[in-house]
């Protein structure tokens, strides 16, 4: 069985798992216990993790709020900022005292559905930013939308399906110019491409540990100094009142260690991953006639290969290979749903391209041997389906 679904999740690095295990079994203190050494050591571990996260993304450790993952971080940023009085948000609001949120149609569902829930309640109006058939963002349109006044702008750093990398630094400059808070979903980007939170003018950055060899169920929201979010959960007033609840010390230590390792190894790992991906892409293009590679090939995550084989439904491919090869038809959250993903719909691709799309995700543990075998499995399945469909014509 070959695992090529690294956008859905990654295995935990053994070095990270060892740290987590230590903080589960030996250093199990509660970071809020100020009366004894277990608490002190747990608190020190949290401080160290905050420094490790901050170092990877160019932020200050004081700007980090620990969460259960990117979904919670995104909810906290969107709901927490919109619950704050309109006057505190800068930028501007829409009609009838509603917030105006600008976002790309190909954001992750964590962003889209949070915004849509606020829209449904009548608290916000949504403005969709324009993208082309490769998913590239129209920056001129974005500037016009910002000039008209927006309470919050949401742009993903790297897309979880087609792998596009967005010009976050440029977008940060635009939002700073107009004084608009900027939420960047960094789930697929942090630990894979350089991100500079402070220097690029990001207001809120969502991070998820399980996308870069850390554990599931832990993440962070980086909140720029001077910005306050209304809490979504009330309790012990942890984390400056923005997110109550006992800290998940082992998970946070794991997130910190995963960030430390990425700071050291990201550049080299990602170059090697891109080389392997390019080789696989070349093989598939040679062996599968009509194969289309989707997304922005100039600005793409190293581990992403999003393909379509027109006339070959992706569900037929998955049915044939699922016991040998783990790839996906879309994001983990929406697989199992038969319709093309909202990301592909946003690109307005022809139906047979959307129906024949497959997401392949490589990571640092992917080997050449696995990729050679994966290519064979895919080519065999596709040839099989094509022969069958030709014989029934
Ligand atoms: N945003 C993006 C781009 C993602 O890929 C994911 C995970 O699938 C999320 C948000 C949600 O992250 P989490 O699983 O940490 O809630």
Q: List pLDDT tens digits, range 295-311.
A: 999 999 999 999 999 99
Compare 121 and 49 and report the one with higher pLDDT. Answer: 49
Q: Which residues are catalytic?
A: 333
Which H or E run includes 390?
A: helix 368-391
To which residue do tokens 């859905």 refer?
Answer: 8
Q: 1: CA distance to ligand 1 center in Å?
A: 24
Summary count for the chain: helices (H), strands (E): 11, 12
Pocket flag, ligand 1, residue 185 (CB < 6 Å):
yes
Q: At what angle do helices 14-25 and 249-287 cross, to 10 degrees?
A: 160
Which H or E run includes 177?
A: helix 168-178
Pocket flag, ligand 1, residue 214 (CB < 6 Å):
no
pLDDT of residue 298: 97
How does DSSP assign 52-84, residue by residue? HHHHHHT--GGGEEEESSHHHHHHHHHHHHHTS
- How is the chain split into domains, by residue range? 2-7+266-391, 14-262
pLDDT in tens, 233-288: 999 889 988 999 999 999 999 999 999 999 999 999 999 999 999 999 999 999 99
- Site to probe by mutation for ligand 1, drawn from 5, 7, 69 as the one with most ligand atoms within 8 Å of Cβ, is 69
- Contact 152/180 with Cβ under 8 angstroms? yes
pLDDT in tens, 329-338: 875 545 555 6
Q: What is the separation of C-alpha 325 from the centre of its chain, rounded to a whole number of angstroms? A: 23
pLDDT band at 391 (very low <50, low <70, confident <90, very high): confident
Nearest Cα residue to 188 out of 158, 225, 168, 161: 158
Nearest Cα residue to 9 out of 335, 280, 315, 363: 363
Look at residue 128 and tell me whether its pLDDT is greater than 80. yes
pLDDT of residue 392: 81
> Which residue CA neighbors atom 5 of ligand 1 most closely?
160
Q: Which atom, in ligand 1's list, is nearest to the CA of 8?
A: 8
Query: Which two structure tokens, joined as six digits, stand for 329?
Result: 């038809």
Mean pLDDT of 159-170: 98
Nearest Cα residue to 74 out of 203, 196, 215, 258: 203
Pocket flag, ligand 1, residue 160 (CB < 6 Å):
yes
Counting residues of the chain whose pLDDT is more than 70, the rounded percentage is 94
Mean pLDDT of 71-96: 72
Look at residue 66 and tell me whether its pLDDT is greater than 70. yes
pLDDT of residue 339: 72
CATH of 2-7+266-391, one of 3.90.950.20, 3.90.1150.10, 3.40.228.10, 3.30.428.10: 3.90.1150.10
Pocket flag, ligand 1, residue 71 (CB < 6 Å):
yes
Look at residue 90 and tell me whether its pLDDT is greater than 50. no
Instruction: Look up residue 161 and give its DSSP letter.
Output: T
Architecture, CATH, for domain 14-262: 3-Layer(aba) Sandwich (3.40)
pLDDT in tens, 27-47: 999 999 989 999 999 999 999
Alpha carbon distance 70, 107 (integer Å): 13
Q: 71: CA distance to ligand 1 center in Å?
A: 6
- Contact 310/200 with Cβ under 8 angstroms? no
Rounded mean pLDDT of the chain?
A: 94
Compare 392 and 168 and report the one with higher pLDDT. Answer: 168
- Contact 364/275 with Cβ under 8 angstroms? no
- Contact 334/341 with Cβ under 8 angstroms? yes
Counting residues of the chain whose pLDDT is more than 90, the rounded percentage is 86
Alpha carbon distance 207, 343 (integer Å): 20
Pocket flag, ligand 1, residue 69 (CB < 6 Å):
yes
Q: Dmax of the chain from CA atoms?
A: 77
Pocket flag, ligand 1, residue 67 (CB < 6 Å):
no
pLDDT of residue 88: 47
Measured CA distances, 212 to 202, 260, 364 (Å): 21, 11, 9
Does the fold of domain 14-262 match that of domain 2-7+266-391?
A: no
Nearest Cα residue to 216 out of 53, 77, 70, 55: 70
Q: Which atom, in ligand 1's list, is nearest to the CA of 219?
A: 15
Mean pLDDT of 344-349: 92
Alpha carbon distance 79, 115 (integer Å): 8
Alpha carbon distance 48, 54 (integer Å): 10
Number of residues assigned to the chain: 393
pLDDT in tens, 167-185: 999 999 999 999 999 999 9
> Which residue CA neighbors atom 4 of ligand 1 most closely?
187
Strands 64-67 and 219-223: antiparallel
Alpha carbon distance 361, 158 (integer Å): 13
């Amino acid at each position: 069985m070959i695992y090529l679904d690294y956008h859905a999740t990654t295995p935990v690095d053994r070095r990270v798992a060892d740290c987590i295990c230590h903080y589960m079994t030996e250093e199990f203190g509660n970071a809020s216990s100020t009366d004894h050494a277990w608490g002190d050591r747990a608190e020190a571990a949290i401080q160290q993790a905050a420094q490790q996260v901050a170092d990877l993304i160019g932020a200050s450790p004081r700007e980090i709020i620990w969460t259960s993952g990117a979904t919670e971080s995104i909810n906290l940023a969107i709901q927490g900022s919109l619950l704050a009085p309109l006057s505190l948000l800068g930028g501007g609001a829409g009609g009838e005292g509603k917030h105006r949120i600008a976002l790309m149609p190909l954001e992750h569902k964590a962003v889209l559905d949070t915004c849509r829930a606020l829209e449904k309640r009548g608290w916000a109006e949504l403005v969709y930013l324009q993208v082309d058939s490769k998913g590239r963002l129209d920056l001129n349109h974005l500037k016009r939308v910002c000039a008209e006044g927006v309470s919050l702008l949401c742009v993903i750093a790297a897309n979880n399906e087609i792998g596009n990398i967005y010009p976050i630094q440029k977008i940060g400059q635009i939002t700073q110019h107009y004084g608009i808070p900027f939420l960047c979903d960094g789930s697929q980007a942090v630990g894979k491409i350089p991100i500079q939170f402070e220097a690029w003018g990001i207001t809120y950055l969502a991070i998820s540990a399980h996308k870069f060899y850390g554990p599931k169920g832990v993440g962070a929201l980086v909140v720029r100094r001077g910005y306050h979010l209304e809490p979504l959960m009330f309790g012990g007033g942890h984390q400056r009142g923005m997110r109550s609840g006992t800290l998940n010390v082992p998970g946070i230590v794991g997130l910190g260690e995963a960030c430390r390792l990425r700071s050291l190894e990201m550049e080299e790992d990602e170059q090697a991953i891109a080389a392997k991906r390019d080789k696989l892409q070349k093989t598939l293009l040679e062996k599968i006639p009509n194969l289309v590679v989707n997304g922005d090939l100039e600005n793409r995550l190293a581990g992403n290969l999003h393909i379509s084989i027109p006339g070959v439904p992706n569900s037929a491919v998955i049915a044939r290979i699922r016991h040998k090869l783990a790839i996906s038809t879309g994001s983990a959250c929406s697989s199992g749903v038969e319709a093309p993903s909202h990301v592909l719909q946003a690109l307005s691709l022809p139906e047979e391209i959307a129906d024949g799309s497959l997401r392949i995700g490589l990571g640092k543990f992917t080997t050449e041997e696995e990729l050679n075998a994966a290519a064979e499995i895919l080519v065999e399945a596709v040839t099989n389906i094509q022969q069958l469909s030709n014989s029934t014509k």
